[in-house]
Amino acid sequence: MVTKKHILQWLENTANAMEDNRQYLTKLDTAIGDADHGNNMHRGFKKVKEQLPAFKGKDIGAILKAVAMTLISTVGGASGPLYGTMFMHAGNKMAGKEELTPKEMGELLAAGLEGVKMRGKASVGEKTIVDALEPAVEAYNQSLGNGSDFQQAMNRAVAACEKGAEETIPMIAKKGRASYLGERSKGHQDPGATSVSFIIKSLNDACLN
């Protein structure tokens, strides 16, 4: 089972990952965006980390919705609404839950993906977060459906997410600031797809404990 402790550790891990990779994400975003993705994600999850003690009394759904509101209010650019909607949809799906089964974790991830796609109007192949997140969700749920245990499914989700992020390199951006570059957006890894891969890896790392 995934407990509230795992969820809180996930959020702390994500904040640490965004701090450690702030310059890397900014470098990616400098090539095809506004050069602010690293700083924005670091600022948002730093604020989330500061609020973790106050989250301990909440259920999992309420924690995720509180994260959503924090990200929406502190992360600039398009990422704030996108990631905020991702956590909000996940929180709504997990309302009242104190722990999650492997199947419910798949539902949480799928709800987050649904939120991102609804908010960003993006699909696979357009050089966005979706290119990493959708393969991760599919890999996780397919693995569970094929009889894998939770950890095997999470490992496959991480691998699919990281591969999805890498596969944005040759794509032409169709959404967001990068889309203005047209052909010149080729050859660069999408910052959003990269940051969501850190989020999924952080979840896996938290659940290993």
What residues have CB less than 8 Å from 12, skipping those under 6 apart? Answer: 49, 52, 206
What residues have CB less than 8 Å from 173, skipping those under 6 apart? Answer: 32, 126, 127, 128, 179, 181, 185, 190
- Residue 179 confidence (pLDDT): 75
Query: How do residues 94-150 score in pLDDT, each as one tens digit?
Result: 999 999 999 999 999 999 999 999 999 999 999 999 999 999 999 999 999 999 999
**Mean of pLDDT values over 25-32:** 94
- Residue 71 confidence (pLDDT): 97
Give the global pTM. 0.96
CATH architecture of the domain formed by 2-207: Alpha Horseshoe (1.25)
Measuring CA to CA, which residue among 63, 70, 140, 147 is closest to residue 106? 140
Residue type, 136: A
For residues 183 and 80, the model is more confident at 80
